[in-house]
Structure 1
Amino acid sequence: MRTATLADAPAVTDLLNAVDLIEIGRPETDLHTVEADLKHPETDLAQDSWLALEGDRPVAYGLLWDESSGERIDIDHYVLPEHQEAGRLLLAAMEARALDKARGNGCGRAVVHLHLNVRPVLDTEVLRARGWYVVRRHHVLRRPLDRAADLTPVPPAGVRVRACADEADRRRVHELYRASFADHFDFQPRRYEQWLHDVDAQGLDWSLVWIAATDDLGDAGFLMARDDREARGWIRSIGVVHGARGRGLAGLLLRHAFAAFAGRGRDTVGLGVDTSNTTGAPRLYTRNGMTLHYAVDTWEAVVAG
C-alpha cells in the first residue's frame, strides 16, 4: 500500500471503470474527473490518498477530503471484488485519518460520509461491522435526446434565460447555488474560490451554464451542465431560490439543457437527485422523461477516539 500521485490517474481510472463495469454494467469514469479529484485543494495526497497494489496494478483506492473545516469528512473508496481485505485496510486507514483531520479542526469526532452504489463491490458487511450505516439515497437518472423534438423552449412572459457570460455571472451563479441548496442534505457552504474548484471551473464550458430571471424577482435560478463525459451529457446542478419555486423555472432550465445537448449531437443526458429532496425535484425529472440508471447510498460513520 502507498499514497497516490497525479501520475497514477490513468491506472486509477482503469480501476474505477472496472468497478463501474461490475456495478452499473459499463465504464463511466473519465480520466479528467480522477485528475480533478487528485488535485482537490482540501486533499493532501501524501496523507489523504491510498493505493493498494498487486504488482503494479491498483486493486483498491481511497481518497479523503475536508470541505467542512469541522467534523464532516468525505471519502471515496473503490476495491476489486477479490481484494476485500485490501479494501478493509484502506477503510481503517481512512477512518483514522478522518479523525485526525476533524481533531485538527477542533472537533472531538469525525462524521465520515462515503457514496456507494446500492449493490457495491465493497462488502457492506465490512462497513456494518465497523459501525457504518446508510443515511441517504440518490438516484442517477438519464433521458434519451432527440434533436428534432428537444427544441429550445420559449420562456413565458416575464421570464428570461441567459447564458453565464462573464465573471459577474459566475459569481451570481455561485450566490444562487448557495441560496438554492442551503437547506439541502449535507450542504457545505463554499467560498467562491473553493466552489470554482469544486465545479472544475478551468475545464467547464460556461456556455452550458444558464441563469433564469423573472421581472419581479430578478435572477432566481440556475443550471450547470457539462459536456466532457464520454458516456453522456451531464447536468451537474439545478437550483431555484425558495421564493421563486413553483413557477416552472426549474423545468424551463431543464428543457433548455436538453435542447442544448441535443443540438450538440448528444443522444443521452443524465443527472443525480436526492430521493428525499423536498423541493419536488424527483417528480420534476420524471415528468420530463428521466428514468433511473442506478442508485447510490450515502453511508455514514461516526469516528471518535
Structure 2
Amino acid sequence: MDDGGRVRTAAIEDAPAVCALLNAVDEIEIGAPETALKEVEEDLATAREAWVAVEAGRTVAYAAVLDAGADGAVDIDHYVLPDHQGAGLRLLDLAEARSRELAGEAGAREAVLHLHLNAAPTLDTALLAGRGWRTVRRYHVLTRPVSPDNDPVPEPPVGVRLRPCADETDRRTAHRLHQQTFARHFDFRPQGYEEWLGRIAPHAGTDWSLVWIAAVDGIGDAAVLTTRDDREGMGWIRTLGVLEQARGRGLGSYLLRHAFAVYARRGRDTVGLGVDTENVTGALRLYESHGMGVHYAVDTWELRLGV
C-alpha cells in the first residue's frame, strides 16, 4: 500500500476521520465540503462491513458494503484521496470479496455490485474499468436557492390533505407508499418495514416532522415526501413518491414547493436532491420546471462477480 500505511476494519469511532476524508474529497470533486458527521455515523452503524486505510496518521481511503439483497445486489461506498490509489485498490479488493461472500450466503448465483461515484471522481476510473466495472446509470444532484420571500407555503390542490408523519401508523403508511411508488425505479430493492426504518431513521433523534403523507379524495393516502435537515450546506429531499393512480393532479409539484417553503423557514438557503436522469416518471422535468439546476453528476458503476 502507498507510504507503508495500514488497512483495518472501520468502527463508529472512525466517523470523524472518515468524515474529514469525505469532505476533502468533496472539496476536490464539487468545490465545497458537503458531508455531515451524522451521515457518516449512520453509514458506519448500518454497513455490513467497512474499512479504512490510514497513512501517517491520516485516513486516506474508506470503503463500505452498505447493503446486500437476497438477489445478490450489493451497494458499496468508496472514497480515496487522489495520490493514494494503491490504498483505494486494497479497500476495493476487500469490498468486492465481501460482496461476493454476501451474495453467496444469500443463495444468489452472482454478486451485482453498484458503486456511486462523482462523474469526475478522485478514484482513477481507469483502474475500475480494468477490473471489469462499467457505468450503467447517471444521476444528477440538483439544487435550488430558497427563501421565505420567494417560497411561500403553497395551497394544496383541491381534494388533497397533507399531514406530517406523526406516529407508528403513519410511518408504516410512509413505508408502504415508498415501496409502491419506487417499485419500478432502477436499482430499487424491496425493504421490509424494519429495514426501511433502520435506513430512514437510524437514531432516536430522527425528525419525523420532516416526513409528510398526502391523502387524496377518492384514493386515500397517495404520496410520501421524506426529507432530512442534517446535511452540510442544504436541506435534503430524500424521496418524493406519488402513486400512479394519483398522478396528473399536481401532487409532485405541491410536495416539492412545500419542501422549499418548510426549509426556507428553517433557515436553509438551499434545497437539494438526487434524481435518476432516466427516471420513467418524469421527475427530472418536474424538478427542473421548479428552478432546480445541476449541482454535480454521479455515475453508477456496476461489477458482476460469479459466486
| TM-score tier (shorter) | over 0.9
Give the corresponding residue for 2:114: 113
- Counterpart of 1:57? 58
Distance in 2 of aligned mates of 1:263 and 1:165: 20
Can you list the C-alpha shifts for 1:146-167, whole angstroms capped at 9, x where unaligned?
2112111111221111111111
Deviation at 1:85, TM superposition (A): 1.1
Per-residue Cα deviation, 1:262-281 (whole angstroms, up to 9, x for no partner): 11121110011000001010
CA displacement at 1:98 relative to structure 2: 1.0
Describe the shift of the 1:156–1:74 C-alpha distance in structure 2 as closer, same or farther (beyond 3 A): closer
The DSSP-based 3-state class of the residue aligned with 1:53 is: strand
Deviations 1:103-132 (A, max 9, x none): 111123211000000000000000000000
Point out the more displaced range, 111-120 or 196-205.
196-205
1:74, distance to aligned residue in structure 2 (A): 1.1
State the partner residue of 2:35. Answer: 29
- Tell me the residue number matched to 1:147: 148
Aligned residue in 2 for 1:156:
157
Match of residue 208 from structure 1? 210
Partner of 2:4: none
Cα RMSD (Å) of the superposition? 1.1
Paired-residue identity, %: 58
1:78 alignment counterpart: 79
Once the two structures are TM-superposed, the CA of residue 173 in structure 1 deviates from its matched residue by 0.6
Cα distance, 1:227 vs structure 2:
1.1
Task: Quote the residue 1:173 is aligned against.
Answer: 174
> Per-residue displacement from partner, 1:170-225 (whole Å, max 9, x unpaired)?
11111100110011101111111111111125332111111111111111101011
For residue 82 of structure 1, give the secondary structure of its aligned residue in structure 2: coil
SS in 2 for 1:297: strand
Question: Aligned AA for 2:29?
Answer: E
Please say if residues 65 and 99 of structure 2, whose CA atoms lie closer than 8 Å, have aligned partners that are also in contact: yes
- Residues 277/166 of structure 1: CA separation in 2 closer, same or farther (3 Å cut): same
Aligned amino acid, residue 178 of structure 2: Y
Once the two structures are superposed, what CA deviation does each residue of 1:271-301 show, in whole Å capped at 9, x if it has no partner?
Answer: 1100000101000001111010001000000
Q: 2: distance between equivalents of 1:65 and 1:288?
A: 32
8 Å CA contact 2:157, 2:249 repeated in 1: no
Alignment of 1:1-40 (within 5 A): 1-40=7-46
**Which secondary structure state, in structure 1, belongs to the residue aligned with residue 140 of structure 2?**
strand
Secondary structure in 1 matching 2:196:
helix
**1:216-247, Cα deviation, whole Å (9 max, x unpaired):** 11111010111112311111110001111121
Name the TM-score, length of structure 1 as normaliser: 0.96
Q: Which runs of 5+ in 2 are unaligned?
A: 1-6
User: In the alignment, residue 12 of structure 2 is paired with which amino acid?
Assistant: L
2:294 pairs, out of 292, 295, 302, with: 292
How many Å separate the matches in 2 of 1:107 and 1:217? 38
Where do residues 241-260 of structure 1 align in structure 2 (5 Å cutoff)? 241-260=243-262
Partners of 2:76 and 2:128 lie apart in 1 by 13
For 2:205 and 2:63, how far apart are their aligned partners in 1? 24
SS at match of 2:9: coil
Q: Which runs of 4+ in 1 moved over 6 A?
A: none
Secondary structure of the residue aligned to 1:115 is strand
The number of residues matched between the two structures is 300
> C-alpha separation between the residues in 2 aligned to 1:149 and 1:293?
20
* Match in the other structure for 2:189: 188
Deviation at 1:82, TM superposition (A): 0.3
State TM-score, norm by structure 2.
Answer: 0.95
SS of structure 2 residue aligned to 1:2: strand
